[in-house]
Structure 1
C-alpha cells in the first residue's frame, strides 16, 4: 500500500498500521480542507515521511522507501539544519511530533558512553544525536543516529506491545559513573 508517497510493506506490525491510518486520515482531512481553502499551506511531505519512517520499530531505514527521506534527514542534521515538521492540518494528529537532541555526556544511552579525549579523561557519547518521536503525547520511538560513525542507528521502541521501559538519557552519565566507581571499588582499584 502507498502512504505519504512511500510504499509501505503489508507486513508492518499492526501498531504501524494504526499509526499510518491515523496519519493518512489527518493528511486526507488536511488535503480536503486545502482544496476548499487554497490559501492554506500544504503539509511538508518530507517531514511527514520522516515521522512515518522514524515510527518503525524495526528502524527508520528498514524499508527501502524510507532510505531517501531518512538519509536526507541525517545530512540535514549533520549540517545543523532544524528537524523537519509535518503539518497535519486542522483536526490532524495532535500530540504527534519528533525532535532531535544532539548527544553528549549529558544526554546519551548508558551503553554508548565511553572515556575519550586527552588521556581518556573525558566522558563522551558514541552517537551524534537522538530523535524522540511522540505519538499521542507519549514516547513511541527514540532513534540514536550516527552511532560510532556516520550512518548506524539504534531504535528504541516504546509503542503498543513493547516491554521496553522509557528512561531519561540525561541520567545515563550518573549511572555510568556510579557503575564505574563500584567496579573500581570491587576490582581493587579503590583506595
Structure 2
C-alpha cells in the first residue's frame, strides 16, 4: 500500500473506526489512529449503515470532520441531508462493536447554542438567534468526545469542540447558553454596567 489513504463506500467499521480512536489517550495519537483506520478500510458492497459509520468516524476527529480529504464526501452529504431535514444516518457497528458510541444532531436555536454564537436578530433585533444550524454530539464509551457545530455563520463552516483525553476544553451545557448570555447582557446594560 502506498502512502495514499482511500475511503471506500463499502468500508467496515467493525473493530476499527471508533473503538481504536477511543482507546488512545492523546490527541496526536488519536489523529494518527484515525488515519490508520481510514487506511485499513476495505472495499465491499455498500450498505445503509456504511455512510453513517463514515460520518461518525469523521465527526469524531478532533481536527474537524473534513480535515482529511476522505471525509469530505460523506460529511458534505451529511450537511446536505440535515439541511433538507433528513434524519441523522445510523451506523451498525456489528457484533461486539462500539457499545456506548453514538452521534446525534440537535438543530440549533436560542435554547441550544454556544454562548458566543448567540446574537440579537429578527424584527427590530428583538429575537435571540444562534449563528449555527446545529450541533452533532459524538459520544464514545458513553462520554462526550466531540461536538461539531455546523453551518456556523453560513453553509459549510464548522467548529469542533474536542472533549477526549488530554482535552483542555471545558464541557458546558448548550441549553444553558441563552441564560448566561441574557445575564451578561443585563449586567452590561444595568446600572453601572457601562451601556
Q: CA 1:71/1:63 → structure 2, altered by over 3 Å: closer, same or farther?
A: same
TM-score normalized by the length of structure 2 = 0.79
For residues 137 and 157 of structure 1, the distance between their equivalents in structure 2, rounded to whole angstroms, comes to 15
1:104, 1:124 within 8 Å by CA — same for their partners in 2?
yes
Match of 1:56 among 55, 61, 74: 61
For residues 5 and 162 of structure 1, the distance between their equivalents in structure 2, rounded to whole angstroms, comes to 30
3-state SS, counterpart of residue 13 of structure 1: helix
1:4, 1:45 within 8 Å by CA — same for their partners in 2?
no
Structure 2 residue 20 is matched with structure 1 residue 5: no
Q: CA 1:17/1:135 → structure 2, altered by over 3 Å: closer, same or farther?
A: farther
TM-score normalized by the length of structure 1 = 0.80
Structure 2: any 5+ residue segments left out of the alignment? 10-26
Q: Which residue of 1 aligns with 2:30?
A: 15
Deviation at 1:63, TM superposition (A): 1.1
Deviation at 1:187, TM superposition (A): 3.5
Deviation at 1:90, TM superposition (A): 1.3
Q: CA 1:112/1:157 → structure 2, altered by over 3 Å: closer, same or farther?
A: same
Structure 1: any 5+ residue segments left out of the alignment? 7-11, 32-41
For residues 56 and 44 of structure 1, the distance between their equivalents in structure 2, rounded to whole angstroms, comes to 19
Question: RMSD over aligned Cα, in angstroms?
Answer: 2.7
Paired residues in the alignment total 172
Q: Which residue of 2 aligns with 1:163?
A: 168
For residues 96 and 4 of structure 1, the distance between their equivalents in structure 2, rounded to whole angstroms, comes to 21
For residues 23 and 67 of structure 1, the distance between their equivalents in structure 2, rounded to whole angstroms, comes to 13
Structure 2 residue 193 is matched with structure 1 residue 187: yes
3-state SS, counterpart of residue 136 of structure 2: strand
1:25-64 deviations in Å (ceiling 9; x for gaps): 9x99xx9xxxxxxxxxx57211111011101111111111
For residues 91 and 21 of structure 1, the distance between their equivalents in structure 2, rounded to whole angstroms, comes to 21
